[in-house]
Amino acid sequence: MNILETSRLIIEEKYQEALDACNQILMANEYNLYGCYGKLFSLSQLAEASHLQNKKIEYLQEAKILATKVLDNWEVFKYNSNKEELSDMANYCLAKYFFITSSSKEDLQKALLHINRAGDADYKRALKVEILLQLNLTNEVYRIVLNEYQRIKRGANNSEEDAEDEDFPIINGKTYFQEKGIYYLLKTNQDFFKDIRETNEYQNWIDTFLETYFIPHANETAYEAIIRLKEYIKLYDSGETIGKVTFSEPIPISEIEEIEKEWNIHFPSSYKNFISTYGLFSLKHHNYKLLSFEEMLTALKYYKEWSIEADKISDSIIPFQKGWEVGYEQLFLFYTQPKVNNNEMNIKAWSETGDVPGGNLVIQKYGPDITNSNLVSFDEHISTLVTDLVREVNDSDLYKNK
């Protein structure tokens, strides 16, 4: 007998024992929260593990009766701190019942309604995918499958200690899962998602879906580009790859104008609108960040000290952003000449690379080459930055089915 079958039999044995115990509790108090939850969960797992359709329906019919009773008498539980878990399980059982016994689109819509109220867990996501497939809502299916794949890949980096508590750990035959009777359910769900990922339809959808994040629309503003990045991050990122985008408090326009007067400059209008409306952004990947005014002065001093061309153009440049590539720091500079449309200052990237042989820092300097630069506006710069970033992350195989 293989591990899957062994684990399935453990489920049937253990959850039948649990069901019997919960029935004893409910005989003494029909609204005991833990008794109700335990019975609903046991019935749902018995239905999942059973190979017999009539037994599945029998378990789910019993679960439906109790779930309906719980939700119809919700006032009984409203002061219990664990009531949300009970509500989630009741809705899951109702979703499972309406799905398994469905004979019409209306039944499937009822199932979808309840699963959307059932909280989040791997087996609940698997059921939602099954419901959506029956309703031919394939775009929603593929979004869930994509997120599930990223969840599994992130789990692959967890330690063995952490894996036991992980919501959706990588299945590798660990004794822990087999002993708990969980291996069967997790492996079954993972295979289910994997089968969908391997279809041509899913692969075609991935290509089309991700392309929307790689190609900005015409005249994309800096803020629209940041939103594009944030939406891309939400697809899968846990904060460890490119991090979440964070913003400072917006900078009052009066403060910006005071700096312009003091420094005798004019910031690009799109830059002023951005930082006065949204603030300065930063993100973990490449340590990209917009500089504060104080940081601008520090960066400008650094630039003047090291750039071989600083003396020629130092009165015409304003560092506004920095980042980090492997081996060198980047400064992004507003360069006041020549101007582009809408009176925008142009932008130039300046980098320095170095190593430390024998403890002596060796610097290679790359001052702005004004004649050969492809200078752009602030909006174009941020749009290009985001596009390069999402393509870089995508090329790291996080979306590929390997």
Rounded mean pLDDT of 113-118?
96
Region 221-235 average pLDDT: 83
Q: How many residues can be counted in the chain?
A: 402
| Its pTM surpasses 0.75 | no
Tell me how many helices (H) and strands (E) the chain has: 17, 7
Q: Tell me yes or no: is domain 3-198 CATH 2.60.40.
A: no
Instruction: Say what the pLDDT of residue 63 is.
Output: 96
Q: How far apart are CA 71 and CA 65, in angstroms?
A: 10
For the chain, the average pLDDT equals 75
Look at strands 281-282 and 246-247 and give their pairing.
antiparallel
Residues 47 and 96: beta-carbon distance below 8 Å: yes
Tokens of 128: 């939602």
Tokens of 28: 């003494």
Determine the Cα–Cα distance for residues 290 and 330; give it in Å rounded to an integer: 12
pLDDT over 80 (residue 343): no
Residue 300 has a CB neighbour count (10 Å cut-off) of 19
Task: Determine contact, residues 144/129, Cβ cutoff 8 Å.
Answer: yes
Nearest CA-CA partner of 310 in 265, 261, 350: 350
Asked which of 3-17, 171-185, 286-300, 310-324 is least confident by mean pLDDT, the reply is 171-185
Band (pLDDT 50/70/90 cuts) for residue 240 is low
Cα–Cα distance between 177 and 262 in angstroms, integer?
66
The top-scoring range by mean pLDDT among 91-105, 149-163, 223-237, 369-383 is 91-105
The class (CATH top level) of 217-398 is alpha beta
Round to whole Å and give the CA distance between 146 and 168. Answer: 14
Residue 280: predicted pLDDT: 94
CB-based contact 150:235 (threshold 8 Å): yes
- Lowest-pLDDT range of 123-132, 220-229, 245-254, 301-310: 301-310
Note the pLDDT of residue 174: 34
| Domain residue spans of the chain | 3-198, 217-398
pLDDT in tens, 72-102: 999 999 888 889 999 999 999 999 999 999 9
**Which pLDDT score is estimated for 238?**
52
Mean pLDDT of 286-298: 87
Q: Among the ranges 92-101, 137-146, 234-243, 294-303, which has the highest mean pLDDT value? A: 92-101
Task: Give the integer Cα–Cα distance in Å for 84 and 39.
Answer: 16
Is the pLDDT score of 166 beyond 60?
Answer: no
Residue 212 binned pLDDT confidence (cut-offs 50, 70, 90): confident
Q: What angle do CA 46, 86, 72 make, to 5 degrees?
A: 105
Closest CA to 262 of 312, 305, 299, 296: 296
Tokens for 381? 């710069």
The DSSP output letter for 374 is -
Are domains 3-198 and 217-398 of this chain identical in fold?
no
The Cα-based distances of 391 to 211, 315, 394, 395 in angstroms read 10, 35, 5, 6
